[in-house]
């Protein structure tokens, strides 16, 4: 987004893209409007969410609702920047990129959350325990198990490290890349993924909780910084 210097450029001021980054926020964000938006200048739902996200030992989820262009993603960007400034790790899931926005259900988000957590683990150099990796392999059946065993063998030969090495994540994330492509483009396979998640959602969420706990342990408490930001537009 940029300022309009001519009448023909006025449309730039109505860009549907969310504000992001310090420069855009300083130029275009309308601060101190909470009194008009909430009928209470001291009430800010985003400040409430920020405070709740920083509570230790508590897992929470929040849902922002509003029409397109009302500022949901911009507010999430501001929240993310604030959390990052406090040392938290933020992971963004952009559903409009990864999913078919005309055909999306909650199980799709569960799958994207799994990939996001594993990506964070890889970035952190986290060593996920073997039984957790095996749980993920078993959940997604033989294709992942065969691929992972090959990756594990290669890593072991090269580094002498077992299945807990972060190098194994590369193989798992490749499988998730295929799963994401199927979610967006392959209707038949997408139905099978959704059926699996619906039938075993508690099992999948428990695996994600354990991955999250491993990241927290690796970062010695600093991975209270686990915060997933999901955009759906």
Residue at 2 is within a domain = no
Count up the domains in the chain and report the number.
1
pLDDT tens, position by position, 87-98: 888 888 888 888
Range 129-150 average pLDDT = 71
Distance in angstroms (rounded) separating the CA atoms of residues 209 and 137: 16
Helix (H) or strand (E) holding 94: strand 89-94
Q: What residues make up the domain containing 218?
A: 91-231
Residue at 30 is within a domain = no
Residue at 226 is within a domain = yes
11 has a pLDDT exceeding 80: no
Residue at 128 is within a domain = yes
Q: Who has greater pLDDT, 139 or 7? A: 139
Range 215-232 average pLDDT = 61
162 has a pLDDT exceeding 60: no
Residue at 48 is within a domain = no
Are 193 and 182 in contact by the 8 Å Cβ rule? The answer is yes
Provide the pLDDT for residue 17: 79
Distance in angstroms (rounded) separating the CA atoms of residues 168 and 156: 10
Residue at 38 is within a domain = no
Residue at 225 is within a domain = yes
Range 117-123 average pLDDT = 86
Provide the pLDDT for residue 147: 52
Distance in angstroms (rounded) separating the CA atoms of residues 126 and 167: 10
Residue at 60 is within a domain = no
């Amino acid at each position: 987004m940029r300022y309009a210097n001519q009448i023909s450029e006025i449309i730039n001021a109505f860009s549907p893209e969310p504000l992001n980054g310090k420069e855009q926020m300083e130029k275009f964000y309308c601060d101190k409007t909470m009194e008009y938006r909430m009928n209470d200048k001291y009430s800010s739902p985003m400040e409430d969410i920020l405070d709740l996200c920083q509570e230790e030992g508590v897992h929470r989820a929040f849902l922002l609702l509003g029409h397109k262009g009302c500022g949901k993603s911009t507010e999430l960007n501001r929240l993310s920047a604030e959390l990052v400034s406090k040392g938290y790790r933020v992971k963004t899931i952009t559903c409009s990129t990864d999913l078919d926005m005309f055909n999306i259900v909650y199980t799709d988000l569960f799958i994207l959350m799994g990939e996001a957590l594993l990506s964070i683990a890889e970035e952190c150099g986290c060593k996920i325990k073997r039984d957790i990796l095996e749980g993920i392999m078993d959940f997604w059946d033989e294709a992942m198990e065969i691929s992972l065993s090959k990756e594990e063998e290669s890593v072991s030969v090269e580094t002498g490290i077992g299945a807990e090495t972060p190098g194994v994540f590369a193989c798992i994330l490749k499988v998730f890349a295929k799963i994401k492509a199927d979610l967006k483009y392959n209707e038949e396979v997408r139905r099978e993924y959704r059926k699996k998640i619906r039938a075993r959602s508690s099992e999948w969420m428990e695996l994600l909780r354990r991955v999250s706990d491993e990241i927290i342990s690796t970062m010695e408490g600093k991975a209270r910084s686990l915060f997933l930001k999901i955009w759906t537009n």
